[in-house]
Amino acid sequence: MNTLRTGILMALMTGIFMAVGVLIGGAQGMVIAFLFAAGTNLFAYWNSDKMLLSMYGARQVDANSAPEYYRLVERLAQQAKLPMPKVYIMENPQPNAFATGRDPEHAAVCATTGLLERVSKEELAGVMAHELGHVKNRDTLTMTITAVMAGAISMLANFAFFMGGDRRNNALGMAGIVVITLLAPLAAVLVQAAISRSREFEADRFGAEVTGRPMWLASALSQIERAAKGIPNHAADANPATAHMFIINPLHGGLSGLFASHPATEERIARLRAMAGAPAAPRGPWG
């Protein structure tokens, strides 16, 4: 159901993009908008992981430089039947983590130093299993594409607003152009947030199944949520479009509800508690 919902939402995002293209230049504008979207998404497909990791100053580690962390990810990847991802650490006091990469064969997972210092080994296993869930479900690519499209919609809407759009072939007139160019970026943000929220639930479920201990992730989410509210993540604040990539919203302030890029942590924990209490709760080789 979540996969179908994501497909519908991405189709809606594409429709918004094309509608703004029509405002700019009618049918020809729609074609230009489509080509622009294809170009930016192609660039994001090949380079999004490098850009994100570089943006956050993440450093790659291995079994020698971070043995406990690396071998934990290695064991989780084997349990999840995934290729071993590249493993990174980001120097940041806020406990958090994210995954990136265009597919499981070109994936990377990254934890902050704050996460490695604050959580137990079991809680870290829950978090990294969650991130591998994003890799398994190819959410890293989906969320990158939606972020790129949301940014492109905002840019095109601004262009249409200042250029006046195609008033000759636009039945809505200038007033319609103003309304649509204001609403299109808002709609794109809403769709992006809805996609991100649905993917977080799926990754939570996958992570809980991989470890066989849903409460490990539940405990980690509770700790990260509390700490993230009081510890700033300046790199994320400077790049808010990437906030949805983290396991917990790294930003301070901002809008909630429909605009939230993450589901309510309380609801995520409640679902994990339900999994832990289910008679057929899965059990992995983690003790």
| Catalytic annotation, residues | 131
At residue 90, the 3 state secondary structure works out as strand
At residue 60, the 3 state secondary structure works out as strand
The residue whose two tokens read 């993540």 is 233
Contact by Cβ (8 Å): 138, 202: no
Residue of 180, 197, 181, 213 whose CA lies nearest to 260: 197
- Residues in CB range of 173: below 8 A, 6 or more apart: 167
CA 282 to CA 201: how far, in whole Å? Answer: 17
Contact by Cβ (8 Å): 227, 234: no
CA dist 170 → 27, 138, 173, 203 (Å)? 11, 39, 6, 43
- Residue 153 tokens read as 């919609």
The residue whose two tokens read 């007033």 is 175
